[in-house]
Amino acid sequence: MQGLMQDVPLTITHLFGRAEQYFGHKEIVTATGSGVERTTFAEWARRTRRLGGVLDDLGISADGRVATFAWNTARHLELYFAAPCTGRVLHTLNIRLFPEQLTYIVNHADDEVIFADKSLLGLLAPLMPTFERLRHLVIMDDGKGEVPDGLGDGGVQIHDYEELLAAADGVDWPEITDEHQAASMCYTSGTTGNPKGVVYSHRSTYLHTMAAMMADGLGARESDVILPVVPMFHANAWGLAHAAVAAGASLIMPGPDLSGPAVAKLIVDEKVTVAAGVPTIWMAVLPELEGKDTSSLRTIPCGGSAVPKSLSEAYREQLGLPILQAWGMTETSPVASVCQLDGDQLELSIDEQADLRTQVGRISFGVDARVVDPTTMEAIPWDGESSGELQCRGNWIAADYYDDERSGESFTDDGWLKTGDVATVDERGRIRLVDRTKDLIKSGGEWISSVELENEIMAHPQVVEAAVIGVPHPKWGEAPLACVVRVPGEEPTEESILEFLDGKVAKWQLPKGVIWIDEVPKTSVGKFSKKTLRESHQNTLMQP
């Protein structure tokens, strides 16, 4: 027997239509190089429909790839919807990738047009001759930078965004009958080999948006004022750009200045309720919020890498609001779990709650997760101690990579995504990430979690950041080396770091060396680049 319910395709045009029909009065604020720009959802919707006309006027193919090379702005949000709502595919380019990686993904995706912020043209200009299929470059004036000479020497047509928009007519969106049709694509950060393309469908984006609006997820709602500091080119801005539009929440776009003072000023001036970004952002923002009115904030989602307990507790102590840790990756659209505490856990002591917040929480509704021995594929016990590889599946989880022969490395024979994260699960199904498989340290035959050591070291009052890597050791084969950034003006010693760790971790897990660095190198999405550190310090513990 079949149900007698209607079957309406789940498409991004529905998200757009809600904002256009019900929330035209709500505001989108963009911080630019020349000041703050304000618009409404009504005006944004009119411009987005005209942008659909621009794509037609430029002759972009029916399912052509529309690339963006841009900061978080209202214009970027116009592109977020105009491309998929016209049946085309949005392709967000990560502005922090290496040049050869950008060339690879523009050509691999067959991008026909790039919409670029003027302040970023200096990065893009040298690469223009390497783009094989690109026919158009559209420049968006974000208040900074100059237009380099020779941009169109390779035959690419150069346009001004506002001029194109002024000359175009608004369009009605074509009916998208296949909800599995591609809507957007984003490439992984490519720490090893070329980046891999993840293609999101209208259906997956719609469902992920609903998950971001759930109370036990990110809880986006109409009354919110959302500041996505996480870039729109980084895994869909964690779904907040779509969720804000669908919910009718006001949006605060930070533009190019992601410094601590700039982000803090937006939070205070615009009375932000939800501010999302990676840990390094919140490290810089916290001191700028001291003594300021942050009463509007209700949640601070944080992800991209493990949130140090010391950082979350610092926010709780200063703002009365601990950081909300979430987990996901490009392949999971990206939100796959959010660390909301259970009701009875709110009755625990402050220290016990702080320990629980270092988890990534229970897997999100709509996603399945398992933690298995990667060799035998047998499930590990839910005891909070046994560890294995975290794998997941669901309606907004990638099933394959775009035109890539390496897909078999990342997916199991029965269709689960291998996340590359090592995790434990407690008796309630709450997940704690132990490490990335490639960052685990095997010392004297025993495994050591680099993440656990980092979290403990970063609680030291004289430490800003710390990354722990495994390097060759003459006795133990491999041993942990702590790479530590001091608080300016402070002079901690190796002995003081090791004494601080005494009793917090087993003695055999203690770093066999501590070195001082000016800054922990970061990947293109703001994670610690331990690969860079390993390459630089391979022989540190081998020296007499």
Closest Cα partner for 236 from 208, 258, 262? 208
Count of the separate structural domains present in the chain = 2
Q: How far is CA 529 from CA 179, 185, 279, 305, in A?
A: 37, 24, 14, 11
18 Cβ contact partners less than 8 Å away, ≥ 6 residues apart: 245, 246, 248
Closest Cα partner for 95 from 526, 473, 544, 490? 526
Tens digits of residue pLDDT in 302-345: 988 788 888 999 999 999 999 999 999 999 999 999 999 999 99
**pLDDT category, 444, cuts 50, 70, 90?**
confident
Can you give the residue range of the structural domain that contains 471? Answer: 441-536
Closest Cα partner for 434 from 443, 446, 421, 444? 421
**pLDDT category, 238, cuts 50, 70, 90?**
very high
Domain boundary among 161, 188, 218: 218
Instruction: Tell the burial category of 156 from Cβ atoms under 10 Å away from its Cβ (0-12, 13-18, 19+).
Output: middle
CA 22-24-25 angle, to 5 degrees, is 110
Q: Is residue 138 part of a domain?
A: yes
Contact 521, 528 (CB under 8 A): yes
- Does the annotation count 331 as an active-site position? yes
Closest Cα partner for 240 from 198, 211, 262? 211
**pLDDT category, 131, cuts 50, 70, 90?**
very high
User: Where does residue 394 fall: left (phi above 0), alpha (psi -120 to 50 degrees), or beta otherwise?
Assistant: left
Closest Cα partner for 249 from 273, 274, 224? 224
Which entry of 132, 347, 385, 442 is annotated as an active-site residue?
Answer: 442
Would you give the end-to-end CA distance of the chain in angstroms? Answer: 76
Peptide bond into 261 cis (omega under 30): no
Q: Does the CA dihedral 359-360-365-366 come out positive or negative?
A: negative
Task: For the beta carbon of residue 169, count every other beta carbon within 10 angstroms.
Answer: 11
Which entry of 188, 330, 332, 419 is annotated as an active-site residue?
Answer: 188
Instruction: Tell the burial category of 406 from Cβ atoms under 10 Å away from its Cβ (0-12, 13-18, 19+).
Output: exposed
Instruction: Tell the burial category of 458 from Cβ atoms under 10 Å away from its Cβ (0-12, 13-18, 19+).
Output: buried
Contact 157, 111 (CB under 8 A): no
- Judged against a pLDDT cut of 80, whether residue 526 lies above it is answered with no
Concatenated DSSP letters of 330-397: GGGSSEEEE-PPPGGGGGS-HHHHHHHTTS-EEEPTTEEEEEE-TTT-PBPPSSSS--EEEEEEETTS
Q: How far is CA 445 from CA 198, 420, 442, 468, 477, in A?
A: 36, 21, 6, 18, 9
What pLDDT, on the 0 to 100 scale, is given for residue 152? 82
Q: How far is CA 237 from CA 77, 169, 302, 361, 543, in A?
A: 11, 29, 12, 20, 44
What pLDDT, on the 0 to 100 scale, is given for residue 404? 92
- Does the annotation count 173 as an active-site position? no
Q: Is residue 271 part of a domain?
A: no
Domain boundary among 163, 190, 218: 218
The strand order across the sheet containing 197-201 reads 157-160, 136-140, 111-117, 65-69, 89-92, 182-187, 197-201
Q: Is residue 155 part of a domain?
A: yes
- Among 115-119, 354-358, 515-519, 532-536, the least confident range: 532-536
* 268-274 average pLDDT score: 98
Structure-block tokens of residue 134:
């690109």
Rounded CA gap, 319 and 313, in Å?
10
Rounded CA gap, 442 and 422, in Å?
14
Closest Cα partner for 104 from 189, 234, 194? 194
Contact 58, 25 (CB under 8 A): no
What CATH number is given to the structural domain containing 519? 3.30.300.30
What pLDDT, on the 0 to 100 scale, is given for residue 438? 78
**pLDDT category, 477, cuts 50, 70, 90?**
confident
- Among 196-200, 247-251, 467-471, the least confident range: 467-471
Tens digits of residue pLDDT in 371-391: 999 889 999 999 999 999 999
**Which percentage of the chain shows pLDDT scores above 90?**
81
Rounded CA gap, 118 and 140, in Å?
6
Q: Is residue 474 part of a domain?
A: yes
Q: Is residue 388 part of a domain?
A: no
Which entry of 331, 389, 452, 454 is annotated as an active-site residue?
Answer: 331
215 Cβ contact partners less than 8 Å away, ≥ 6 residues apart: none
Task: For the beta carbon of residue 512, count every other beta carbon within 10 angstroms.
Answer: 17
What pLDDT, on the 0 to 100 scale, is given for residue 191? 56
What is the torsion angle, in degrees rounded to the nearest 10, for the CA atoms of residue 292, residue 298, residue 303 and residue 306?
80
- Judged against a pLDDT cut of 80, whether residue 447 lies above it is answered with no
Task: For the beta carbon of residue 369, count every other beta carbon within 10 angstroms.
Answer: 22
What CATH number is given to the structural domain containing 105? 3.40.50.12780
Contact 92, 232 (CB under 8 A): yes
* 170-189 average pLDDT score: 96
Q: What is the greatest pairwise CA distance in the chain? A: 76
What pLDDT, on the 0 to 100 scale, is given for residue 486? 95
Rounded CA gap, 388 and 434, in Å?
9
Rounded CA gap, 349 and 391, in Å?
32
**pLDDT category, 192, cuts 50, 70, 90?**
low
Which entry of 317, 385, 446, 447 is annotated as an active-site residue?
Answer: 447
Contact 127, 99 (CB under 8 A): yes
Q: Is residue 106 part of a domain?
A: yes
What pLDDT, on the 0 to 100 scale, is given for residue 413? 92
φ, ψ of residue 198 to 5 degrees: the values are -110, 125
Average pLDDT over the chain, rounded to an integer: 94
Q: What is the pTM of this model?
A: 0.88
* 415-428 average pLDDT score: 94
- Does the annotation count 442 as an active-site position? yes
**Which percentage of the chain shows pLDDT scores above 70?**
99
* 62-66 average pLDDT score: 97
Tens digits of residue pLDDT in 11-49: 999 999 999 999 999 999 999 988 999 999 999 999 999
What pLDDT, on the 0 to 100 scale, is given for residue 544? 57
Domain boundary among 218, 250, 279: 218
Q: Is residue 258 part of a domain?
A: no
Q: Is residue 211 part of a domain?
A: yes
* 88-116 average pLDDT score: 95
